[in-house]
A and B are shown apart, each in its own frame.
Chain A
Amino acid sequence: MIKVNDSVVRELRSRGRFDASKCFSCGTCTALCPVGLPILPREIFRYALLGAQEELIKRQDEIFSCLLCRMCEENCPEGVGISGNIRLIRGLLNEKVLGL
């Protein structure tokens, strides 16, 4: 069972421009990712939008594996600020998990 917490999205939006809701999950980003992790970044965005904080915590390795190289963003048909969103999720996790 996934626990959801609606404060996650609110917190992400308070940290900066979190526009993951524009993503329609086409998978272009995943196909182009130089790291080749299948989860990045579509599923991560779904978990963030749902407020599934525990799922994000479980996937920290993938979230911190993103190069922020913007190859995905350059080709995203919806113009999602993918690397910025990932950076905001990192910030949230650093605060919640490490207290940093």
Chain B
Amino acid sequence: MSLKREDVLTILAQNIGIRGSAFPVASSALTAWAEGLGIRKGGHTVLYTGHMYQIIPFILGMQNREALMRSAPSWGMKVARLINPVINLTRVVTLGAAHPLDVLRYNRVLRDVATLLRSCGVEFGYLYEYEEYAGALPYDMGLDRVFLKHAHRVYKKLKGFGIRRLITVDPHTTEMFKNVYPEVIEGFDIEVVNYLELLAERWRPKVKGGGHKRPFVIHDSCVYSRYLGIFEEPRSILRRIGVEFQEPLLSKRLTHCCGGPIESIFPERAKEVAKARMEQLEPLGREIVTMCPICHLNLGAVKDENIQLWDIATILRDIQKEQGGNGNG
């Protein structure tokens, strides 16, 4: 049994309307990844996480507690809908739920992105606690009223900080700012570039020897591939650092979804879609490269123990370190 759609949508709309986030966790959990990196606050160009990587450990933690939520009486969710506007139930339900190793793993992806960008001379700031969720989930779910209000608020805030350029790190936030915001906000004039596009343009790593011989399997995100046309960039970057990778039959513009977009409403169906994708990937190798935190989460939920999933930024950074370099060659 899954949570009822009307409950999920109502709580989602409340969270966006009241707290500006689909998954409102503590601000300190959203900004912890940047600790010690010395990234300046604000500036004309900012690295924009959109909270997507940071919330995954909390979603994982909540999934572990879902059995408990499902065993609650049927009126439980009705009560939840009534009190959520006053008490942030997401915070309550996820309190202590995020595993520290998951927090480290997903925060590390963001640190790797920042380090990779710096290594090719890209300068950026970060909005820290002022950064907002872009609104992909309410938009996709058709919660138009709350989404529009949220998008205008976010844009006003970005303009207030004098932001001229956003460097995004995940496909969903990129799609929102690159294609959806300009459609719904008159005069939207902030440049949006994804970090994979920037790396493909500027990154010239030093490569020693014959490259990296671990056979990776590449999994494209639907949003990167079909919404944004970003699929050659990651391949170009991986080849540049000597990584060999296998292509599944369904890849690039024909990639197969991970099931993530319906996970919040139909978790069982989402798992079936993820299993179908894993069956295409697993025969090709035991190390799979993802580029999206949602893909990483959903494929991770159905993978065998002997399969490893890596975010592309972590692979690039690991190999960069193995090669003993930080900068462009």
Give chain A's interface residues, CB within 8 Å of chain B. Answer: 15, 34-35, 60-61, 64-71, 73-74, 87-95, 97-98, 100
Report whether over half of chain A's contact residues are helix, strand or loop; otherwise say mixed: helix
Report whether over half of chain B's contact residues are helix, strand or loop; otherwise say mixed: helix
- B262→A98 contact, CB < 8 A: no
Instruction: Specify which chain B residues have a CB less than 8 angstroms from the CB of A68 in the assembled complex.
Output: 140, 261
Give chain B's interface residues, CB within 8 Å of chain A. Answer: 5-6, 9-10, 13, 139-146, 222, 226-227, 253-254, 256-257, 259-262, 265-266, 269, 273, 276-277
- A93→B142 contact, CB < 8 A: yes
7 closest A-B pairs by beta carbon, nearest first, are A90-B142, A91-B142, A69-B257, A69-B222, A70-B226, A91-B144, A67-B261
- B262→A67 contact, CB < 8 A: yes
Q: Given A89-B142, A91-B142, do A64 and B5 touch, yes or no (CB 8 Å)?
A: yes
Instruction: Specify which chain A residues have a CB less than 8 angstroms from the CB of B142 in the assembled complex.
Output: 87-94
CA of A85 to CA of B13, assembled, Å? 21
- A100→B222 contact, CB < 8 A: no
For this complex, 30 residue pairs linking A to B, each with C-beta atoms less than 8 Å apart, are: A34-B259, A34-B276, A34-B277, A35-B269, A35-B273, A60-B5, A61-B5, A64-B262, A64-B265, A65-B266, A66-B262, A67-B222, A67-B257, A67-B262, A67-B273, A69-B222, A69-B226, A69-B261, A70-B222, A73-B226, A87-B140, A88-B142, A90-B142, A92-B142, A94-B142, A94-B143, A95-B145, A97-B6, A100-B9, A100-B10
- B262→A65 contact, CB < 8 A: yes
Instruction: Specify which chain A residues have a CB less than 8 angstroms from the CB of B144 in the assembled complex.
Output: 15, 91, 94-95
Q: A87-B142, A94-B144, A100-B146 are in contact. List 10 more A-B contacts (CB 8 A).
A: A60-B5, A67-B222, A68-B140, A74-B253, A88-B142, A90-B142, A91-B143, A92-B142, A94-B9, A95-B145
Return A72 CB to nearest CB of chain B, in Å. Answer: 10
Instruction: Identify the interface centre among A70, A87, A100: most chain B CB within 10 Å of its CB.
Output: A100
Instruction: Specify which chain A residues have a CB less than 8 angstroms from the CB of B5 in the assembled complex.
Output: 60-61, 64
Instruction: Specify which chain B residues have a CB less than 8 angstroms from the CB of A15 in the assembled complex.
Output: 144
- A98→B254 contact, CB < 8 A: no
CA of A75 to CA of B265, assembled, Å? 26
Q: Given A64-B262, A69-B222, A74-B226, do A34 and B257 touch, yes or no (CB 8 Å)?
A: yes
Write the chain B residue with the least CB distance to A15: B144
Return A85 CB to nearest CB of chain B, in Å. Answer: 11
Q: Given A34-B257, A98-B9, do A90 and B141 touch, yes or no (CB 8 Å)?
A: yes
CA of A66 to CA of B5, assembled, Å? 13
CA of A66 to CA of B9, assembled, Å? 15
Instruction: Specify which chain A residues have a CB less than 8 angstroms from the CB of B139 in the assembled complex.
Output: 87
Return A96 CB to nearest CB of chain B, in Å. Answer: 11
Instruction: Identify the interface centre among A60, A66, A69: most chain B CB within 10 Å of its CB.
Output: A69
Return B200 CB to nearest CB of chain A, in Å. Answer: 22
Return A98 CB to nearest CB of chain B, in Å. Answer: 6
